[in-house]
Structure 1
Amino acid sequence: MFWMRFASLSYPGRFATWVATWFAPPYKARRHLARYNAQGYVAPSANIYHPQLLRGAHVFIGDRATIYQANDGGTVKLGDRVHLHNDTCIETGVGGSLKIGADTHIQPRCQFSAYKAVIEIGANVQIAPNCAFYSYAHSVALGELIQKQPLQTKGGIYIADDAWIGCGAIVLDGVRIGKGAVIGAGAVVTRDIPDNAIAAGVPARTLSMRSN
């Protein structure tokens, strides 16, 4: 694709990307555009407001995705060939950062809020639509409005390689999801999940282990 040779986050580069979309169908049919430029494909409608965004080669960022840095937020590192699909929102704030490993695919409308601690996602992880990841929580003591109470955390979120997170799952602070683990749709993960476990429920618990 000729125009993708000039794609970048600069104004001329965004214009080149916009022209390239004229010749491509919408949504996932545009993933191939990321292959034509080492800087990848960033949809013209994506909102990038993060000076510490580090992208690997051939990253795909879909329509209306948002990557935002709040005050004192840390880095966002996207590994090679990461796919962020439509309406995904990434935000880093004070004490937080995000790292996503190579070949990880994130489906539409996922939320990553990294405050107070890191969110680290391994390689070849599959994350279904409408999932949410929060590396912090609000204090909820009586006598003060919750919105005015300080943030707190039990620690970062760590998702090992080859995990699969089902549709609508929520992963909270202080959790490690093991290599090759499967999290069922709608689960709320509040504790560690072992390697190769299949977990589901609210709160999520291990139901069985993957086998051959």
Structure 2
Amino acid sequence: MRKISRGGARQGPGWFARRWTAFWMRFSGPGPVGKLASRLAAWLAPPHMDQISLAYLNRRGYIDATATIYHSDLRLGQNVYLGPGVLVVETKGGGPISLGDRAEIHMHVLFETGRGGYMEIGPETGIHPGCQLKAYVKPIIIGRGVMIAANVALYSYDHGLAPDISICDQPLVAKGPITIQDDAWIGTGAVILSGVTIGEGAVVGAGAVVTKDIPAGGIAAGNPARIIKYRNELKNADKINE
């Protein structure tokens, strides 16, 4: 068996891949050249969740070459990750979208702002594949360290239902902004509707439809969502590694 020296191991495929990725990430960014650099950087990088590490090779973060940004006021913090197929859209009158430092936006997430709406996504918040966030009339504001699981929908507006106006012509209405405070967790497939505040550290179960506020530390489930427990009521036995 041939013995490989430390120097020889350093020159292996893994070393080349790391050097290749780090080189192209120096030029990564939202413009055409930056997106080409992102594509080349990702060529030898691991797929899906492991691509997040690319965002830490450049203060400008990582925007996948397949992400589409059709927005005049997208504000990115440091080391932000925008994954494959992310779509950022502005319609007439839409406000800015701000993503805090180290935010992670995974594949096929939709951000959309329209008249009267804007978004603020806090630092270290993760939004997982297939989510839709649409801010019209009122904003969507998400705090620090929030975890939003796959296929969650947030709509800060609704359509009017006046009987003398056709459905297609109904105006957009809103009860208020959507606010998700720090350290909250939104389960897979949940729907968060206009005017809702989800308190700090609260948990929303998978598939829940949230029409009313969830207090801090509350655990909510169902359609419509209701409080089933508070996190401070959990026994030690419920804690991982306890």
**TM-score (structure 1 length as normaliser):** 0.98
Q: Which runs of 5+ in 2 are unaligned?
A: 1-21, 235-242
Q: Which residues in structure 2 correspond to 1:1-212 (within 5 Å)?
A: 1-211=22-232
Question: Amino acid of the residue matched to residue 170 of structure 2?
Answer: Q
Structure (1 or 2) with the larger CA radius of gyration = 2
- Name the % identity: 48
Quote the Cα distance in structure 2 between the aligned partners of 1:10 and 1:202. 43
Secondary structure of the corresponding residue to residue 158 of structure 1: strand
Question: How far does residue 40 in structure 1 lie from its aligned partner after superposition?
Answer: 0.5
Quote the Cα distance in structure 2 between the aligned partners of 1:153 and 1:12. 40
Question: How far does residue 145 in structure 1 lie from its aligned partner after superposition?
Answer: 2.0
Question: Amino acid of the residue matched to residue 184 of structure 2?
Answer: A
Question: Amino acid of the residue matched to residue 61 of structure 1?
Answer: L
Structure that is richer in strand per residue: 1
- CA RMSD, aligned part only? 0.8
Question: How far does residue 89 in structure 1 lie from its aligned partner after superposition?
Answer: 0.1
Secondary structure of the corresponding residue to residue 154 of structure 2: strand
Secondary structure of the corresponding residue to residue 36 of structure 2: helix
Quote the Cα distance in structure 1 between the aligned partners of 2:165 and 2:139. 27
Structure that is richer in helix per residue: 2
Point out 4+ residue stretches in structure 1 off by more than 2 angstroms.
Answer: none
Quote the Cα distance in structure 1 between the aligned partners of 2:168 and 2:118. 22
Secondary structure of the corresponding residue to residue 206 of structure 1: strand
Structure of greater relative contact order (alpha carbons < 8 Å, 6+ residues apart): 1
Question: Amino acid of the residue matched to residue 93 of structure 2?
Answer: D
